Amino acid sequence: MNLDPKWVPMKWPCGPLEWARRNKTKGVGAELKETLEAWAQPAALDLLKGTPVNCLVVEWAEGAPEDSAQQQALKPLLEAGRRLGISFVGKVAAGEGVATVVASARAAGLAAVMLAEPSGPSFDLPVISQFPRDKVAWKSATQIFSSMDNEWPGVKLDTMQGDTAIAGPTGVPWVNSNAWFSLLSDELARGKTRWLDFDPPGESSVAHPANYALAVADSQAYGSRWIISLDDHLRTALLKANPQATAVWSKTCETVAFFESHREWEQFQSQGILAVISDFLGDNGSLGGEVLNLLNRRQVQFRVMERSKALATPTPGLKAILWLDKDAPAADQLGKLLAFVRQGGLVIAAAYWGPSGVTPTNKDPSLDYKIYNIGQGQIAVSEEGFQDPYQVAMDAHLLVSSRNDFVRLYNPEATNCHCSFDPVHKRRLVQILNYSSSAASFVTLWVNIRARSARLWSPRARDSHSIPGLPAAPGTDFNLPTIPVNCALEVEGLNL
């Protein structure tokens, strides 16, 4: 049995292990205890009927006295689930005796185990490696791997006054998103499937549920999968068939089904006017990750390039390169970078390593950068080096300039978008996400190509429908309908 990239995973907390863990931290009330017991019963799987969810992540062993009881309690659930075509992944804590525990999982019929930073001997059962987000072993990560410590997507709560988002240091609404990490993973673990592990915020309730549909969309629009995780209030309410809880669950599954019906989008190539190049190791990884996060908040369209592989293939549409590392490029890459500059490109760096004898200028006193004009392009060098990621992201945004954008959002409030390209059918895909708890209205999308119309896709509609394009030199405007969570436009036109 192999890992299946088509698995749609969901956490399924239940049984003695979960009960013991909750009791250690905050105590288990009678209602939550009943919920944990009920979710271990085969009848609870009725919740998944008619949904895309086909893989459940369950606690299997963590070296606790309750391990044996947990495995016994799960037997009826596993048997019933397999009859329904559901696969099970068991979480196993690393440590002594892990081989024996994995063998027990195989004997019980689990499809795979999830191990924290697995190493050592191979097993007779597929393994999903799980890492803290800042310690992913990209090269040794399994074909499906999981990262922890991810953000719950949405407008950050401590930057809200009523329903109004306050701008952060970047000057835009302070939106939490895992988009940048998905784009980084796509480059550093190319071809592998990423499962993002994060739970709903603790203040969620049935009356004020977390935005589960956004958690799905923020993951999948950028090529990752969220391990669906429901809060305790919602899981309890679903057992009681609470109408509000049922509506939340239906909307979540609707969003998952939307992306399942468009799996071809996963093969599209991300587009960016800015390439961010680094080896993303050590201090470079810390700086690079935060710069990517802040660039995404500023709605800069960027591509991530691992330093050793950067510029190996043509990058159409690229206008600028941010060379993040202090190390100068190797000789072969230096030649490619200088060729890019001479043809009109911009390179932003912490130190100058271009041709000698070039006298720098500083045309903009508000930016502490020396500008070296080389051929038709420029190398912009920070006078202070790259120390503050906020400053690096802001400066890069200003230096690249919005005049080079592929797409722009007007009246965006707390929306953002991801632009990708289908090289086979010459289509551009723009996925728009609304990070606010309120529906986004009067949003206009501008694309830098001329198009008479575009196909609009949304989770609530089974089929796309055409929306007209309005000339907006040198591109086209599209007035979007109200966006509860997400939608997508497929655009065919000139200058792709």
Domain harbouring 64, CATH code = 3.20.20.70
Average pLDDT over every residue of 439-451: 94
* Residue 160, pLDDT score: 38
Average pLDDT over every residue of 267-280: 95
Task: Tell how strand 269-270 and strand 112-116 pair up.
Answer: unpaired
Q: Could you read off the pLDDT of 410-423 as tens digits, one per residue?
A: 987 799 999 999 98
| In a domain? residue 183 | yes
Task: Answer yes or no: is pLDDT of 366 > 90.
Answer: no
Average pLDDT over every residue of 55-66: 94
Lowest mean per-residue pLDDT among 23-32, 244-253, 434-443: 23-32
Contacts of 135 (CB under 8 A, 6+ apart): 117
Between 239 and 362, name the one with better pLDDT: 239
Between 425 and 152, name the one with better pLDDT: 152
Number of domains in the chain: 3
- pLDDT bucket at 425, cuts 50 / 70 / 90: confident
Question: Do residues 66 and 193 share a domain?
Answer: yes
| In a domain? residue 477 | yes
| In a domain? residue 346 | yes
Question: Do residues 257 and 225 share a domain?
Answer: yes
Q: Which of 458, 417, 460, 415 is nearest to 435 (CA)?
A: 415
* Residue 338, pLDDT score: 96
Q: Contact, 112 vs 3, CB < 8 A?
A: yes
- 369: CATH: 3.40.50.880
Average pLDDT over every residue of 264-279: 95
* Residue 158, pLDDT score: 42
Task: Answer yes or no: is pLDDT of 102 > 80.
Answer: yes
Q: Contact, 403 vs 382, CB < 8 A?
A: no
Question: Do residues 14 and 113 share a domain?
Answer: yes
Distance CA 410, CA 417 (A): 12
Question: Do residues 389 and 248 share a domain?
Answer: no
Specify the pTM.
0.93
Question: Do residues 336 and 457 share a domain?
Answer: no
Question: Do residues 170 and 37 share a domain?
Answer: yes
* Residue 117, pLDDT score: 66
- Rounded to the nearest 5°, which phi and psi values hold at 186? -60, -30
Question: Do residues 399 and 426 share a domain?
Answer: no
Residue 19 burial by Cβ neighbours in a 10 Å radius (0-12, 13-18, 19+) = buried
Which tokens belong to 144? 């499906």
Question: Do residues 252 and 321 share a domain?
Answer: no
Question: Do residues 207 and 219 share a domain?
Answer: yes
* Residue 206, pLDDT score: 75
Q: Could you read off the pLDDT of 137-155 as tens digits, one per residue?
A: 999 999 999 999 999 999 8
Q: Contact, 444 vs 479, CB < 8 A?
A: yes
Mean pLDDT over each residue of the chain, to the nearest integer: 91
**Domain end marker among 385, 404, 423:** 404
Task: Answer yes or no: is pLDDT of 1 > 80.
Answer: no
| In a domain? residue 267 | no
| In a domain? residue 234 | yes
Question: Do residues 400 and 413 share a domain?
Answer: no
Q: Could you read off the pLDDT of 372-406 as tens digits, one per residue?
A: 999 999 999 999 999 999 999 999 999 998 888 99
- 474: CATH: 2.60.40.1180
How far is CA 20 from each of CA 76, 197, 389, 490, rounded to the nearest angstrom?
20, 21, 42, 49
| In a domain? residue 1 | no
Task: Answer yes or no: is pLDDT of 496 > 70.
Answer: no
| In a domain? residue 266 | no
Average pLDDT over every residue of 35-57: 96
Q: Could you read off the pLDDT of 159-199 as tens digits, one per residue?
A: 334 334 444 333 456 899 999 999 999 999 999 999 999 99
* Residue 365, pLDDT score: 75
- Rounded to the nearest 5°, which phi and psi values hold at 137? -85, 90
Containing domain of residue 291, as a range?
272-404
Q: Which residues face 377 on adjacent strands?
A: 374
Question: Do residues 162 and 121 share a domain?
Answer: yes
**Domain end marker among 404, 430, 446:** 404
**Domain end marker among 199, 229, 261:** 261
Q: Could you read off the pLDDT of 302-344 as tens digits, one per residue?
A: 999 999 999 888 788 899 999 999 999 999 899 999 999 999 9
| In a domain? residue 279 | yes
Question: Do residues 101 and 240 share a domain?
Answer: yes
